[in-house]
Structures are given as C-alpha cells and as structure tokens.
C-alpha cells in the first residue's frame, strides 16, 4: 500500500500539487486521471522519487520514502517496477536481453537463474517465442508486453505505469489493460496507472483519483464515476460524445 499525506510540490513559486491525500491499495489497479497540465504526471514522478515534494509524507507500507537515506531509498527502488509511455526498450538488445537488464543490474543470481526468470516473465506475457527478436522487429503492442515483462522481472511490490496504452489501437489497449490487471492480482502488487484513456478507466479502474489544477478533486471506482455529481469530473469524462451517450443511457435506466 502507498499512502500520500498532505503532499505539496511547487516549481518556481507555483504550486503544482496542493495537499494531496490518497491511498493506493495492494492487489488493485489504482488509476490517476486528469487533463494535461493537471498535475498527474508530477504526482507520479513524486511517488517514484524522480521529484521531491516540499511538504508531506509518502509512505510505502508505512515506510516514509521522503525521510529515507540514500541506501534505504535504493533498497526500496528495487521493489518498484516501471512501464514507460514509450516502452523505452533498448534497440540494440534482443527482447530477452531487455527483460534481463534489471536482473543483470540488481540480482546476484547466476546467469542461468537470471535467464530462467526472464523467460518466465516473457512466457507470462505470451512472448517467449519472440525472445531473440529486436524491438524494431515487433509491434508496438508486443513492445509494451516486453516492457511489462521487464517491469516484473525483479518481482516488484509496486508497479508504476505511465500511459501504458499510448499509441496503441483499442483492441491492443484492452489486452495491455487486462494483462496489467491480471498481474496485479496474481502478485498482489500495488499498481498505479497514470492515464487519460477512459476505456482503461471503465475497464480496470478499481480505485481512481481525479486530479484537477493540482488538487485531488474526486476519488472513487469505475462503478461510481457515472453517478458522480462533481462537475469538473463530469466535464472531463463526458468530453467525448460516446461517454455522453453512455451517461444518458445510465440516467434512462435509473429513471426507467
């Protein structure tokens, strides 16, 4: 579990995050949503330690990350897995070598055991047959699955996903969402997903926080989102014609 208590972050005197309080639970897909410039990317960067908040507490299972020394932070980072928006694979490495990279960096296991673990992770994302290919030889969806395999190679307790469906078609996005959700349950990880994809919100949004102008404006689940009376949230969600029509159908069903 990850807890944020009174988190503030500023740039050049301007508050970008303002008194953020939130809890992200184990074994659930926790989503951070918001429009561009709302602060959700800054929030994710603060949580993973790429940025340092000016005030507040950031607790990883009751361990305050912001109060840790370098050695403690390094140990905690080993418990984190990260899926980047662009997949961020090494073009000159094979798929297998990409997945093995964090194992080679941080594991003291033998080469044989590291290879076995990497192949297990590739098999988990149904890509074992692509182990000898290079990133440029596989599709964007396959690259994202390689990134997931790499992110879970060290068996992390915390998984962070920055716009994991960016650039993917709807069908492939659904595959990635389901894979992240299944892995979260399987390993009981605390998974945070930074997204603006409403299909992801409605598909795997077990816990959702909506950031607006640096504030946590709303929190709930995908089951609560259509019945919210929060105007800012509704303006964000129902910006598309599709979701406006879904909202109208929901209202009709309730009234009927």
Q: pLDDT per residue over 86-98, tens digit each?
A: 778 899 999 999 9
Residues with Cβ < 8 Å from 224, sequence gap 6 or more? none
Q: What is the pTM of this model?
A: 0.85
Query: Per-residue pLDDT tens for 18-56?
Result: 999 999 999 999 999 998 888 988 999 999 999 999 999
Residues sharing a CB contact under 8 Å with residue 22, sequence separation 6 or more, in sequence order: 3, 4, 209, 216, 219
Alpha-carbon separation of residue 180 from 44, 106, 165, 240, 241 (angstroms): 17, 23, 11, 25, 28
Selecting from 3.40.50.300, 3.40.190.290, 3.20.20.70, 3.10.20.30, what CATH number does the domain 1-79+196-256 have?
A: 3.40.50.300
CA angle 44, 50, 54 (to 5 degrees): 85
Domain segments of the chain: what residues?
Answer: 1-79+196-256
120 C-beta neighbours (distance < 10 Å), count: 14
Quick check: 67 pLDDT over 70?
yes
Per-residue pLDDT tens over the stretch 199-255 = 888 899 999 999 999 999 999 998 888 888 889 998 888 765 555 555 555 555 655
């Amino acid at each position: 579990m990850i807890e944020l208590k009174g988190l503030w972050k500023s740039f050049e005197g301007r508050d970008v995050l303002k008194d953020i309080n939130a809890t992200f639970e184990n074994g659930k897909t926790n989503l951070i949503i918001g429009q561009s410039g709302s602060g959700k990317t800054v929030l994710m960067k603060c949580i993973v330690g790429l940025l340092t908040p000016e005030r507040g507490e950031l607790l990883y299972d009751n361990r305050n990350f912001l109060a840790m020394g370098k050695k403690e932070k390094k140990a905690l980072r080993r418990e984190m897995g990260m899926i980047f928006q662009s997949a961020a694979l090494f073009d000159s490495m094979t798929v297998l070598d990409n997945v093995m990279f964090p194992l080679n960096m941080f594991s003291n296991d033998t080469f044989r055991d590291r290879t076995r673990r990497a192949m297990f992770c590739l098999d988990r994302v149904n890509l074992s047959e692509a182990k000898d290919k290079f990133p440029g030889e596989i599709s964007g969806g396959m690259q994202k699955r390689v990134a997931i395999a790499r992110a879970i190679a060290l068996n992390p307790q915390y998984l962070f996903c920055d716009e994991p469906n960016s650039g993917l078609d709807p069908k492939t996005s659904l595959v990635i969402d389901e894979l992240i959700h299944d892995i979260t349950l399987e390993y009981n990880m605390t998974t945070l997903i930074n997204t603006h994809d409403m299909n992801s919100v409605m598909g795997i949004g077990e816990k959702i926080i909506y950031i607006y102008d640096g504030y946590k404006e709303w929190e709930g689940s995908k089951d609560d989102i259509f019945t919210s009376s929060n105007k800012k949230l509704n303006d964000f969600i129902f910006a598309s014609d599709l979701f406006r029509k879904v909202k109208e159908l929901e209202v009709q069903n309730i009234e009927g």
